[in-house]
Structure 1
Amino acid sequence: MATAGDKVVARGMDYFLAGAVEIIATEKTRVVARVAGTQDYRTVVCGEDEAIGGECSCPAFERDAVCKHMVAVALAANAALVSGKGVVAGPLAEIRSYLAKKSVGALVEMIVDLAESDAALMRKLEVAAAASGDDPKTFVKRMRQAIDAATQTRDFVEYRRVRGWAAGVNAALDGLADAASGPHAAAVIELADHAIETIEAAIAMIDDSDGHGSALLAHAQEIHLQACKAARPEPKALARLLFLRETEGEYDPFTGAAAIYEDVLGEEGLAEYRRLANEAFDALPPRRGRSGERPSFSVEAWRLTSILDFFAERDGDLEQRIALRAKDGKSQWHYLQLAEFCRDNGLDERALGYAEEGLWLFEDDRPDERLVFFTVDLSLSLGRKEPAKAHLWRAFEKDPSVALYDRLRELGGKDAGLRAVDHLMTRLEGARSTRWHFPADLVVRVMVAERMFDEAWKVIRDHGASRGAQETLAPASETSHPREALEVFEEGVEQLAQAGGNPAYEEAAALIARMRPLRKATEHAAYLEALKARHGRKRNLMQLLG
């Protein structure tokens, strides 16, 4: 409960001191209690020392995963231990003792009476009764009803209600799990598949910020797997079902099904799975040619590649794994993945070939710097400095950036830096700045790196530049160009003063201190007086300025 804030802890202390906590049951590291608040809340605190957690039925816990009721229970349990009396057994122990004296018939009547007024308990008992019976039709009917009732949403389920909704679905799945290895295992396969469909449909109608939907799908898929292990369905039929789910499902609970169900499918089922994947993969459109249209990312292609890669890896067929990745060359990123795979398997020459092919095929597009830098680094590792530089220059001349300039400067030295400046100045001819776009920014930053301060300030005067570019140039050139730097600093101070807040004021004060040695003392004093006249009401700023 380290996440509980001071306010929550204080309210929890109030509840504890008011005697609102009634401990119901205790175990070594777990306390169950009833806390009186707006209504009675069931609160559980578990763990020890610093690792304290738990749950509560109140709305605050649904929202924050911690609440004042949990704090109150922890304080009550701790107080009992400190006093030497220990935590009392609570009413639950008395209830257990009372029930133990009742006959089976009396207990049955009590439970049935409770179920009549508790719909959740009624559903749970219906599922348990159906699972224990011999009639498969009744079992399927009751389980299907329970799944449908639990997963229905009627309207959108908001965040604070999702945990309760998910708990109801989990309860239905737990009932299904209890029957997964029993005589109804074959029926459980179909019911688990149905549960996955209904959960997927419901996800669109819940606030799934905490990922309950994914957890429920994983639970249902695990039940499906356990039932398959018990029932051993016909391998080819199972392969066809799993393949359909893996390739067409929206939320991917069956991703990697061939590997997960490998033992159940056996060689016959795996062969069918592979056949289906090969047929679908062969039907995919070929990768784009150099002048072709770029296809959008294909989830189907990605899934099929993953499936066939499993089989190729299972066979130890590296060439097939490379061929699979080579077919999916729909973008520079795909070529990067292919090249990295080859490199990671010790095939540096092939890796470089695929990387260069990707750059060539997409040379009319904006260069993907990840692929460019991969190609450059691998070329250098193979002792090919000149091709590496050529790749950098092609990318820089197509779409220049600071990162590309840095690599060019690293490999080519001062000459490369000057060539980069010349190219950027040529690109700048005829370009116009707008409110949100400053073409001169890059050349200014490169000129700063080259210490071409005169030229950089001239570019700003002629073409304009963003505030960020000016703030990069000003401190770098303040010694040689104090007047220009002061103008930038003064504008920065004004913006920070207008923004307000102590962090902004402290940054403004630091800028003012930096400005002091850049001009005469009388000029600086006059500037401070004018600044104080404009912002004299900002007390914290005035205190920083002395």
Structure 2
Amino acid sequence: MEDLTEAELRSLAGARSFERGLGYVDAVSGIEIGDDWIRASVHGTERYEAELTLGGRRGPTGRCDCPYGQEGNFCKHLVALGLTVLAQEADLPRQRESARNRARGLDAWLSGLSRDELLSAVREEIAEDRQLRRRLELRAASAQGDLAGIRSRIRELLDIGPYAQYGHVEYADARAYADQAGQVVSAVRSLSASGRAADAMTLAREAIGLLAGQFDSVDDSDGWLGQVGADLADAHHDACRAARPDPEELAHWLVTHALDDAADLTDIDPLDYEDLLGEGGMAALRRYAVDAWQAHRTGWAEKDLVQRLAKSGRDVDTVIAVHAADLAPSGHTHLLIARELDAASRSDEALEWAERGIRDVDDLTTVDTALVDYLADRHAREDRLPAAAALRRDHFAARRTLLAYRRLRAAARAVDRWQTERAAALDLLRADAEQRTAHGAPVLVDVLLDDGDGAAAWRAAGDFGAYDHQWLALADQSRATRPSDALAVYQRLAAPLTRQVGNDVYEQLVSLLLSIRDCHRHLESPDEFAAYVTELRSALKRKRNLMRLMDEHGL
């Protein structure tokens, strides 16, 4: 076991999984040992099967059927198994040899049985083990070419009845049902391997449909049934690769499946079959997808499928047709079309769609801002600066926000009209503020602050009001020039914080105290600040973390 150490386990699992694995060592049972592998069950909230492979070129590896292990991670259950193996390291050679002897003994016993004795032993096991019986029945039907028999066994395997209470498979039974359903995958693959790929393909499709019909009745929180669905999809793809079905028929099934609820179970992507479909099949695939979309133009799945297939074939006109059939009133769809046309080097058409998007919007307050940005940027790049400024002006007039103001400022400066545009924009904002609209005064204060016009911002805040964060920004911006005004703001904001607790509150309060100290420095009134702090410390002395923080900042 020179290739497995505690340090190796920690490296493979990471510190967190390793530490958690320490608590599962006593949960390891049923250890089986082979020449280069060790398996065991690990019991926690569920029973999981873990397997370590030793002596490989890459060093120790492991797999576990817990959700974390299924993602390819070296989980806590593998750590627990590894630590158990290390604890039994001295006895490992004996256990390994004992396992070999048992295997040889079983093989020798089976080899020594007569045909009738062997059949009797198998029949006894079948009578005791229903799962074994079903697996062997499936193998028998496959060997005999009994398609009806295989189909019947598959239906039995996918029946939730034996596991369901009140028509639903609970979480505790989902794993067992998924294990049974997984036998269908083996049956499909066995058919393919025996040269009957066409039958395997047909049964895979039927099984996918049956399993999808049961999916909503199973608590698949751990994803076991989803994995069976993915495995069935892989088995279907492999069967198609071997059977080489008619491309037209395959295309029709792929589109039908992609638009069916079963698609959520298997996640089959029709584009993965491109090499099997060929040019004719891909053309049929797109045709069937377009037909489905035309029959249900508002269906999300139909639209998505048509667009993906069209893009794969560089069929921009079809992509545009799908978008154009369901134009969003915000102009967002016009923007998507413009971007598709740009990608196809059809920039003139892209511009037309973007401009149409602005025209089609009934109210610019609802327009997609990204469409405005796209069109304004196009105007600017193509030296239509007045048009860009006009668009930004109209958008700001409809949506008076700080962002729209900034965009207008940049566009107006580019045509040397900012002073005129600014005056008009501020008139609009002042009118909003006077009418006490929801965002009138705050936006006015924000844009004046953003312009660096502190004096006007103070006046607006005083006349129309402002939020606390805006008052704080005003005070921070003008501490040196208006220390008295700033001081009043800081003291007002500090007052409620003195009645609250918590380290975040203390940090805010100390920040305000530092600003208050700076104001007093500008006012040349350090004694007033000293008295203020002394009174504050006396009142808040029980708040030890605050006192410590004030000490750190010399307050």
Question: Who is 1:351 aligned against?
Answer: 350
User: Comparing 240-249 with 255-264, which one deviates more in the overlay?
Assistant: 255-264
The equivalent of 1:55 in structure 2 is 64
Equivalent residue, structure 2, for 1:291: none
Match among 235, 245, 248 for residue 257 of structure 2: 245
1:150–1:165 CA contact under 8 A, matched in 2: no
Contact 1:445 1:472 in 2 (8 A): no
TM-score computed with the length of structure 2 as normaliser: 0.76
The unaligned stretches of length 5 or more in structure 1 are 286-295
SS in 2 for 1:440: helix
> Is 1:478–1:485's contact at 8 Å kept on the other side of the alignment?
yes
Contact 1:196/1:220 (8 A) holds in 2: yes
Which residue of structure 2 aligns with residue 425 of structure 1?
A: 430
- 2:181–2:228 contact (8 Å) kept in structure 1: yes
Quote the residue 1:505 is aligned against.
506
Which residue number corresponds to residue 408 of structure 1?
A: 408
1:341 maps to which residue? 340
Q: Structure 2 CA distance, aligned partners of 1:174 and 1:504?
A: 63
Alignment of 1:2-17 (within 5 A): 2=14, 4=16, 8-12=20-24, 15=26
Indicate the larger mover: 168-177 or 536-545.
168-177
Q: Confirm whether residue 188 of structure 1 aligns to residue 200 of structure 2.
A: yes
Supply the AA of the counterpart residue of 1:379.
Answer: H
Distance change in 2, residues 1:125/1:254 (3 Å) = closer
The equivalent of 2:96 in structure 1 is 89
Distance in 2, matches of 1:517 and 1:348, equals 57
Cα deviation digits, residues 209-242 of structure 1 (max 9, x gap)? 6665654443323323333344455554444333
**Closer, same or farther in 2 for the Cα pair 1:152/1:273, shift >3 Å?**
farther
The answer (yes or no) to whether the contact 1:342–1:350 under 8 Å persists in 2 is yes
1:148 is paired with a residue whose SS is: coil
Alignment of 1:537 with 2:542, yes or no, is yes
AA at the equivalent of 2:374: F
1:128 has 2:139 as partner: yes
Alignment of 1:158-197 (within 5 A): 166-182=178-194, 184-197=196-209
Select the residue among 155, 174, 179 that pairs with 1:144: 155
- CA apart distance, 1:360: 1.7
Could you say if the C-alpha distance between residues 336 and 126 of structure 1 is closer, same or farther in structure 2, counting changes exceeding 3 Å? farther
**Counterpart for residue 360 of structure 2:** 361
Work out whether 1:303 is the aligned partner of 2:312: no
SS in 1 for 2:81: helix
Given the alignment of the two structures, is residue 44 of structure 1 paired with residue 51 of structure 2, yes or no? yes
User: What letter is aligned with 1:188?
Assistant: A
Determine what percentage of the aligned residue pairs are the same residue: 26
**In structure 1, the residue corresponding to 2:32 is in which secondary structure?**
strand
Instruction: Name the structure 1 match of 2:40.
Output: 33
Residue 515 of structure 1 and its aligned partner are, at CA, apart by: 2.9
Identify if the C-alpha distance between structure 1 residues 204 and 6 changes in structure 2 by more than 3 Å, giving closer, same or farther: same
SS for the counterpart of 1:33 is strand
TM-score norm. by structure 1 comes to 0.77
SS of residue paired to 1:303:
helix
- Aligned to 1:514, the other structure's residue is in SS state helix
Shift of 1:368: 0.9
Structure 2 gap segments, 5+ residues each: 1-12
What is the aligned partner in structure 2 of residue 528 from structure 1?
Answer: 533
Aligned length: 521
| Partner Cα distance (1:200, 1:337) in 2 | 34
Aligned partner letter, 1:70: L
CA drift of 1:338 comes to: 1.4
Q: Which has the larger radius of gyration?
A: 2
The alpha carbon displacement at 1:144 in A equals: 1.9
Q: 1:371 corresponds to which letter in structure 2?
A: L
- SS of residue matched to 2:109: coil
Going from structure 1 to structure 2, the CA distance change for 1:79 and 1:442 (only over 3 Å counts) comes to: farther
Of 54, 68, 83, which residue of structure 2 is paired with 1:75?
83
